[in-house]
Amino acid sequence: MLPREGFVTTDDDVRLFFQTVGSGPKTVVVPNGFYLVDDFAPLADGRTIVFYDARNRGRSESVDDPSKLERGVLRDVDDLDIVRRHFGIDAIDVIGHSYMGLMVILYAMTYGAHVNRVVPIGPVEPKQGKAYPPHLTGADATLQDCLARLAELQKERGTVDPQEFCRRFWSILRVIYVANPADAGKITWGRCDLPNELNLMKYWTTITLPSIQRLDLTPDAIARVTAPVLIVHGRKDRSSPYGGGREWALSLPDARLLTVDEAAHVPWIEAPDLVFASIRTFFDGAWPEAARRVESLELPEP
């Protein structure tokens, strides 16, 4: 049985916090897992799930040395393999949400021999910022209202207690992550008591996002992902466009797309039975019935 919590020390002496749920023989690793533990615990039936906080995130050690941050998402890829080796696991199943959905695909490109199966949920598109047709994005009035409210909130930065600012930030942002506004209250990700999360936006805009924008994922690079990949994507995702999920499923050698019609960026909250049952089936070695091959970026005719 793996320890319930502790730290993994990276090769450049950064401590990453982890916690585990379950005690089954199969191991699933979830990076950036500090906000997913409670929601994803049902997957621990017959499995051990290792949730760990990424570098400079959650309860992991805060990093001030720029040289330990400059590679951004590519550093996250290497850290995931350090976590795998720490626990002595030869090959892992892995789940990544949002930009970590992209990261776990990059991991499969780089460390393919140590990957069983990959589940990116609402992953960032292969080319950051690519413009998809409106019907392949979740752009709507709710998103525009959210962006306007966040812009107003930014004017108060420095005049409001940082934890209060963080709480207000998340109370606005969480609305765009769901298709049904009534589900927004189920998102409790802010962790405004954690210093790393108080500084999240600075870290995202100065380190993580630029590192993603620098990626040049050629067809040959994407073809290196030989593990089966189940992409789970809400059709109304405003944060990571649904077109990006389709593009991943179209481009990866062995991938299928689970479309969650009435969901946005957190499909497991809005359709938990479908999402968790599909992931279990996939990790048990089969494609879920609702998962589909993607033959074209465009939607099929009804």
Task: Please write the tens of the pLDDT for every residue from 213-272.
Answer: 999 999 999 999 999 999 999 999 999 999 999 999 999 999 999 999 999 999 999 999
When divided into structural domains, the chain yields a total of 1
How many whole angstroms separate alpha carbon 63 and alpha carbon 204? 14
**Residue 214: half-sphere exposure toward Cβ, Cα within 13 Å:** 11
Q: Is 18 helix (H, G, I), strand (E, B) or coil?
A: strand
Task: Please state whether the predicted TM-score (pTM) of the whole model is above 0.85.
Answer: yes
Q: Give residue-wise pLDDT tens across range 182-215.
A: 999 999 887 899 999 988 888 999 999 999 999 9
Give residues with Cβ within 8 angstroms of 266, minimum separation 6. 122, 177, 178, 183, 187, 234
Domain membership flag for residue 218: yes
Q: Give residue-wise pLDDT tens across range 54-68.
A: 999 999 999 999 999
Domain membership flag for residue 266: yes
**In the chain, where does DSSP find H-type helix?**
37-40, 73-86, 99-110, 141-154, 162-173, 195-198, 200-203, 209-213, 219-222, 242-251, 267-270, 272-283
Tell me 143's DSSP state: H
Domain membership flag for residue 294: no
Question: 269: domain range?
Answer: 5-283
Domain membership flag for residue 291: no
Q: What is the CATH number of the domain that holds 123?
A: 3.40.50.1820
Domain membership flag for residue 293: no
C-alpha 176, offset from chain centre: 16
Domain membership flag for residue 24: yes
pLDDT band at 1 (very low <50, low <70, confident <90, very high): low
Q: Give residue-wise pLDDT tens across range 31-55.
A: 998 899 999 999 999 999 999 999 9
Domain membership flag for residue 215: yes
